Structure 1
Amino acid sequence: MKIVVRVKLLPTPQQASTLQATLHACNEAADHASHTAFTTNVKRNRELRALTYTTIKSRWSLGAQAAQHVIKKTCDAYASLAGNIKAGNLGRPGSKRYRRATEKPITFRPESAQPYDDRMLSWQMEHRTVSIWTVAGRMKRLPFTGEEQQLRLLARHRQGESDLISQNGQWYLLATVDIPEDPCNPAPHGFIGVDLGIANIATTSTGHRHSGRRLNRSRENDRRNRDKLAKKQTRSAKRRAKRRAGKEARRVRDINHKISKHIVAEAQRTGRGIALEDLSGIRERARLKKPQRVTINSWAFAQLGAFIEYKARRVGVPVVYVDPAYTSQECSRCHHIDKRNRPNQAEFTCRNCGFVEHADLNASHVIGDRGWWAWVCGAESQVPALTLIA
């Protein structure tokens, strides 16, 4: 199983300036390769290399490996664009979004990630330093730090290339590690159903509720502050809005990591699997008023599901995805479905058998039951392997 470990580099101001110059040079070269690919319609690595390699290497003073990675990065970007077009992710041909993506060359931000292979980057794990290629020559003994468990994984299982990135003035290396998975539990003792929501971000059929009330107040305050900053339209307001957006995204990610870790640990401890709702396309299917759209669509439920999925795969916990239709209206005791079974957001009262329970807890029981039957019928999750930043 492949995951991505992020380590933080600790350069001096002079070293940081050199790393920044390196990224800028590589991305300027990538823009040149992209313009050539667009004008000549040559977007395969070998053919584009024949057209651009010599120019890139001499004009931007890049090493041989760096120049080849720049060209490959450009080809990969056009391959991704072609995949999105084929999948219909850019709308219909002729639409504004389609034309914006296809009528001009792909451009790269000055600090877009640059791939490094083992010829350009070497790790000294015992000293917590790296030796990295730059446009000013080899930068040796550059210290790095990170979470201890992740660094142990990096030392044992690192595989393939690493990416150099810059975020908010900080420097990071994203390294791929290939870790072994525990064998999947072939006979789980039932399934823990997970109901996702707003008042409670996640409610499990074992009775654990991860409340989102305090978080929702913070998100509402963040939303109001963003609206105020957007109205000002000044440079300082835009900088502050960008910092606030990054802070909120990190908070959401941290909370999703904690919730997923708790759910997977409970499933592993009790020998059960995990049942999740298949929420793909929910934004297109759901008909909501504007205030509801803002609240529901702003939480990263897909991220939470992905975190649960990859953490479960690491420890051999089976995961199934079930149809989310009517989970909030179905009784977990008699399975009677009625819109009137849920008189308000928090209460569930079955019109058929009189069963009363918290609405989210009842829904989680329904999801758990559907997960068990999906497993019995052989409908094990076929979600593709994930590559995530740990």
Structure 2
Amino acid sequence: MACYVPDVKVVAQVKLLPSSEQASALEATLHIANEAACWVSSVAFEHGIPREYDLRKHTYAELKDRGLGAQAAQHVIKKTRDAYTALKANLQAGSLGKPGSRRRVKAESKPIVFRPEAAQPYDDRCLSWQYDAETVSIWTTVGRLKGLRFTCSPDTLRMLRHHRKGESDLVKRDGRFYLIATCEVPERPLNEDPAGFIGVDLGIANVATTSTGYQAAGRRLNRYRKRQLALRRKLQAKGTKSAKRLLKKRSRKESRNNTNINHTISKTIVTTAERTGYGIALEDLTGIRSRVRLRKDQRQQVHSWSFQQLASFIEYKARRAGVPLLYVDPAHSSRECSECHHVNRNNRRSQAEFVCRACGSAMHADHNASRNIACKGEAAWTAGRESRVPAPLQALRRGRSRGSQPRPAHKPHLPRLG
């Protein structure tokens, strides 16, 4: 019987290299599609945000008259309906404030508006890929563009060729056009018997420290963030249109820099675990920003800490590599000695120095914490594999299995595909 292996959804981004005529056609397509999406949004808001089928009855004919093709019109309607679904989820989760707050009232009192250059989804009927020639054929409002060149890394091209599935989004950022494609990469079989666990301590002074000795220092990143903060303050004080444009540009550049650093760190950690046959244990830091009390001068540094993104990168890379990953409770990991497991607040003498009051062990504080996290991960993995059935009941089950009456055969449960 074939074993079902789930897929990991990965986003692949390629840069388009259009000529001046092709760029004009792509820009016009985005503007017309998003203008139509704004109109569909107003209709949805006026009619109380109906179901997608009802919204299609109200808007499909008009969208065709506006110059959109059949598939493009369907995608505009679906994009609008998805935006209202996301808004409803954010309201229920309280992401836009409490009921009656200014931000929430503003979001609920008017239709959703789409930017002129917001992403427009394409399916295989509107977009086809020629991987050998590194070109695409894409629908636009002025006709289909054939032979539109794109560029990407060899690894991205290989992933597109073998694993691309589903829709792709056309976006424009900083005057450049990109296609963002969804790829479903199969997971490797999970390593059910890891040799141990690599504990990962996440922090600000050091972005990540592992129990194997790897340390990603945050000094350079923190200096970069401090420079960006000073520049933002100057531009915000200036307040001109050019200053606001530069603020957006610098914000995207800072985000890309942080993302690249997190990708590099996560790849190093997962590659080490895959090579050594170990699993990975991470701290569960959910809600840490709301739990800790911070001085005013610490707030910017802590709230720019992208630990969630780094954890998500490690998680999906571990899934692709078949590496076990666990989240453990980080309580007392910085106060507990990894040698004798003595817990004392005074064990940590400074941010970087750990000296145990009981056994005298001295080491870097983050390395000590990572070793404690590794120990918790191994204990959690062992506890999960041990049977929770009481011993008498286990003996009874073993006796039944040796009896003369055969057990009824059960069909294996296979997940539903498609």
TM bracket (short chain): over 0.9
Please report the TM-score for the alignment, with normalisation by the length of structure 2: 0.88
Give the aligned length: 378
Q: Deviations over 1:195-229 (max 9, x none)?
A: 11112111000011111112211211111111111
Q: Secondary structure at the match of 1:276?
A: strand
- Does the alignment pair 1:247 with 2:245? no
Please name the residue that 2:170 is paired with. 164
- Taking the aligned partners of 1:56 and 1:315, their CA distance within structure 2 comes to 45
- Taking the aligned partners of 1:28 and 1:372, their CA distance within structure 2 comes to 54
- Does the alignment pair 1:99 with 2:105? yes
Matches within 5 A, 1:330-341: 330-341=336-347
Q: Secondary structure at the match of 1:375?
A: helix
- Taking the aligned partners of 1:86 and 1:227, their CA distance within structure 2 comes to 34
- Taking the aligned partners of 1:299 and 1:276, their CA distance within structure 2 comes to 16
Unpaired runs of at least 5, structure 2: 1-7, 386-418
Q: Secondary structure at the match of 1:377?
A: helix
- Taking the aligned partners of 1:96 and 1:281, their CA distance within structure 2 comes to 24
Letter in 2 for 1:375: W
- Does the alignment pair 1:314 with 2:358? no
Unpaired runs of at least 5, structure 1: 380-390
| Matched-pair contact (CA < 8 Å) for 2:49–2:84 | no
Please report the TM-score for the alignment, with normalisation by the length of structure 1: 0.95
Q: Secondary structure at the match of 2:281?
A: strand
Q: Deviations over 1:81-114 (max 9, x none)?
A: 1222222322322122221221111111111110
- Taking the aligned partners of 1:216 and 1:84, their CA distance within structure 2 comes to 31
1:201 to 207, 223, 239: 207
- Taking the aligned partners of 2:301 and 2:142, their CA distance within structure 1 comes to 48
Q: Secondary structure at the match of 2:39?
A: helix
1:108 to 107, 114, 124: 114
- Taking the aligned partners of 1:148 and 1:97, their CA distance within structure 2 comes to 44
Q: Secondary structure at the match of 2:149?
A: strand
Q: Deviations over 1:107-131 (max 9, x none)?
A: 1111111010111111111111111
2:367 to 337, 340, 361: 361
- Taking the aligned partners of 2:348 and 2:94, their CA distance within structure 1 comes to 38
- Taking the aligned partners of 2:23 and 2:326, their CA distance within structure 1 comes to 45
Please name the residue that 1:387 is paired with. none
Q: Larger relative CO (CA 8 A, sep 6+): 1 or 2?
A: 1
Shift of 1:260: 0.5
- Taking the aligned partners of 2:155 and 2:50, their CA distance within structure 1 comes to 40
- Taking the aligned partners of 1:243 and 1:256, their CA distance within structure 2 comes to 20
Shift of 1:32: 0.6
Please name the residue that 1:323 is paired with. 329
Shift of 1:322: 0.8
- Taking the aligned partners of 2:286 and 2:28, their CA distance within structure 1 comes to 41
- Does the alignment pair 1:44 with 2:59? no
- Taking the aligned partners of 1:42 and 1:343, their CA distance within structure 2 comes to 58
- Taking the aligned partners of 1:102 and 1:149, their CA distance within structure 2 comes to 43
- Does the alignment pair 1:11 with 2:18? yes
Letter in 1 for 2:341: H
Letter in 2 for 1:6: Q
1:292 to 286, 289, 298: 298
Q: Secondary structure at the match of 1:98?
A: helix
- Taking the aligned partners of 1:232 and 1:267, their CA distance within structure 2 comes to 49
Shift of 1:158: 1.2
Please name the residue that 1:57 is paired with. 64
- Taking the aligned partners of 2:384 and 2:97, their CA distance within structure 1 comes to 35
- Taking the aligned partners of 1:274 and 1:221, their CA distance within structure 2 comes to 34
| Matched-pair contact (CA < 8 Å) for 2:186–2:320 | yes
Shift of 1:375: 1.1
Letter in 1 for 2:105: R
- Does the alignment pair 1:83 with 2:89? yes
Please name the residue that 1:26 is paired with. 33
Shift of 1:50: 0.1
1:301 to 297, 307, 314: 307
Please name the residue that 2:409 is paired with. none
- Does the alignment pair 1:70 with 2:76? yes
| Matched-pair contact (CA < 8 Å) for 1:43–1:78 | no
% identical equivalent positions: 58
Shift of 1:367: 0.8
Letter in 1 for 2:335: Q
Matches within 5 A, 1:118-157: 118-157=124-163
Comparing 151-160 and 326-335, the one that deviates more: 326-335
Q: Secondary structure at the match of 1:378?
A: helix
Q: Deviations over 1:62-83 (max 9, x none)?
A: 1111011100111111111122
